[in-house]
């Protein structure tokens, strides 16, 4: 917690965000329990809780069990039916833009997904995607727009944006989108946004040291240490997809050789399966795509893995081994409480997770991995847009998590 003096409004905002977090994490909870947890006076808690109830963010749940004074305390929780406050979450990935209207509990109410089209500026395409989910939502109070962007984005410069696969650089997204919607706009690297989303809406609510691994078209890590996002000096921390695992391996999109990305992204895994089939390895995949390897998708591999297809399981073992080795580095360096996995490759489930876990534990020190949870993110396929939406709440209510 920052040490702040003299600014009553700021202290109030920090207390409000802390109270909201305690309610979200521990609901149902009474005012007295909140005061005890945060070491605040009961008058402060009562006044802020009244505001949160008036704003429709928190609601009373009825009476709890008798306390020491013989009274039944009123229990509080976040308002599931809150029709007042929403946030828009946007994910800019290598092929297009996803947008969603998300309520304060992290539920997606409406979403849109469009591939990039030729001739349109990135800013225009993002604005169009946001309009699609904000249609008919004028009566709602949208607190802001959060954008998770694939690649490197430095919030302190606000204009530095690089989407590697699309080779898009230096877009001034924030300014243009704020001007269009007259709402606050927060932008982060997509994996960092997912790590923040896991804190608000996933399984990291009570954790201070954890890592979100996003394994899909690329591989990245959102690293939270002592409750704060670790962004690095140039906001490029967590680029674990570009850790070298094969010094003489394939050329990577970053220009180096043998990066983890070259063996374990969705594209790399599909490439390896195609290559095995081309070498004559028998696989149920051939039947699933009616003999046309161009039709192989990550869903085809999920189906084949569930049928115990040896060819696909071998490729997943190969990729899972390298991911697990890199996870072992993270365990040794960071010693986190948990690693949460997200992205299309993580959603292949146990067939690859078991290899990731096995290798992560085999190649890390026992002391560094003791008690660590390695599991799929609770936010599943919506992790990107929910993570982006959570940037609004994070920045407005608890900015000190962001370095």
Residues forming contacts to Zn ion in the complex (CB under 5 A) are 242, 252, 254, 256, 259
CB of 403 to Zn ion, least distance (A): 24
CB of 164 to Zn ion, least distance (A): 9
CB of 242 to Zn ion, least distance (A): 4
How long is the chain? 403
Among residues 145 and 252, whose Cβ is nearest to Zn ion?
Answer: 252
> Could you tell me if 212 and 226 are in contact, meaning their C-beta atoms sit under 8 angstroms apart?
no
What tokens appear for 140 in the block?
Answer: 């709602």
Closest alpha carbon to 106 in 83, 87, 127, 132: 87
Within 226-302, strands assigned E span: 228-229
CB of 327 to Zn ion, least distance (A): 17
Q: At what angle do helices 310-334 and 298-306 cross, to 10 degrees?
A: 100
Among residues 218 and 336, whose Cβ is nearest to Zn ion?
Answer: 218
Among residues 17 and 262, whose Cβ is nearest to Zn ion?
Answer: 262
Among residues 252 and 376, whose Cβ is nearest to Zn ion?
Answer: 252
> Could you tell me if 103 and 86 are in contact, meaning their C-beta atoms sit under 8 angstroms apart?
yes
Give the gyration radius of the chain's Cα atoms: 23
What whole-number distance in Å separates Cα of residue 77 and Cα of residue 178? Answer: 32
Among residues 229 and 252, whose Cβ is nearest to Zn ion?
Answer: 252
> Could you tell me if 97 and 147 are in contact, meaning their C-beta atoms sit under 8 angstroms apart?
no
CB of 252 to Zn ion, least distance (A): 3
CB of 261 to Zn ion, least distance (A): 5
Among residues 29 and 259, whose Cβ is nearest to Zn ion?
Answer: 259
CB of 254 to Zn ion, least distance (A): 3
Among residues 259 and 285, whose Cβ is nearest to Zn ion?
Answer: 259
What tokens appear for 123 in the block?
Answer: 């800013």
What whole-number distance in Å separates Cα of residue 277 and Cα of residue 283? Answer: 7
What whole-number distance in Å separates Cα of residue 22 and Cα of residue 26? Answer: 6
Alpha carbon of residue 279 to chain centroid? 38
Indicate the SS3 state at residue 70.
coil
CB of 235 to Zn ion, least distance (A): 18
Among residues 166 and 303, whose Cβ is nearest to Zn ion?
Answer: 166
> Could you tell me if 242 and 254 are in contact, meaning their C-beta atoms sit under 8 angstroms apart?
yes
What whole-number distance in Å separates Cα of residue 19 and Cα of residue 125? Answer: 37
> Could you tell me if 228 and 130 are in contact, meaning their C-beta atoms sit under 8 angstroms apart?
no
């Amino acid at each position: 917690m920052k040490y702040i003096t003299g600014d009553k409004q700021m202290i109030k905002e920090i207390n409000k965000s802390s109270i909201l977090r305690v309610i979200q994490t521990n609901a149902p909870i009474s005012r007295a329990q909140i005061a005890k947890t945060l070491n605040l006076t009961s008058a402060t808690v009562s006044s802020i809780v009244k505001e949160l109830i008036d704003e429709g963010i928190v609601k009373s749940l009825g009476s709890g069990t008798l306390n020491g004074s013989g009274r039944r305390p009123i229990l509080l929780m976040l308002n599931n039916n809150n029709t007042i406050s929403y946030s828009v979450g946007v994910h800019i990935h290598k092929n297009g833009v996803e947008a969603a209207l998300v309520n304060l509990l992290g539920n997606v109410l409406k979403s849109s997904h469009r591939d990039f089209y030729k001739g349109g500026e990135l800013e225009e395409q993002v604005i169009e995607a946001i309009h699609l989910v904000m249609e008919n939502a004028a009566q709602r109070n949208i607190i802001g727009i959060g954008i998770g962007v694939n690649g490197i984005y430095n919030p302190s410069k606000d204009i530095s944006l690089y989407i590697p696969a699309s080779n898009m650089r230096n877009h001034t997204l924030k300014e243009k989108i704020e001007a269009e919607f007259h709402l606050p706009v927060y932008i982060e690297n997509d994996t960092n946004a997912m790590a923040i989303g896991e804190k608000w809406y996933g399984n990291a609510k009570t954790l201070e040291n954890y890592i979100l691994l996003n394994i899909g078209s690329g591989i990245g890590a959102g690293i939270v240490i002592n409750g704060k996002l670790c962004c690095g000096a140039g906001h490029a921390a967590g680029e674990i997809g570009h850790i070298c695992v094969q010094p003489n391996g394939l050329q990577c999109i970053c220009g180096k050789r043998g990066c983890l990305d070259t063996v374990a992204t969705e594209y790399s895994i599909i490439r390896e399966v195609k290559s095995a089939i081309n070498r004559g390895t028998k696989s149920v995949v051939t039947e699933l795509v009616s003999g046309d390897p161009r039709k192989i998708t990550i869903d085809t591999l999920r189906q084949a893995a569930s049928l115990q297809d040896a060819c696909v399981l071998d490729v997943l073992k190969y990729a899972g081994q390298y991911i697990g080795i890199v996870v072992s580095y993270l365990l040794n360096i960071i010693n986190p409480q948990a690693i949460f996995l997200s992205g299309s490759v993580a959603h292949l489930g146990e067939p690859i997770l078991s290899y990731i876990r096995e290798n992560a534990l085999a190649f890390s020190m026992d002391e560094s991995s003791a008690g660590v949870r390695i599991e799929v993110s609770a936010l599943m396929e919506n992790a990107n847009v929910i993570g982006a939406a959570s940037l609004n709440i994070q920045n407005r209510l608890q900015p000190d998590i962001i370095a």
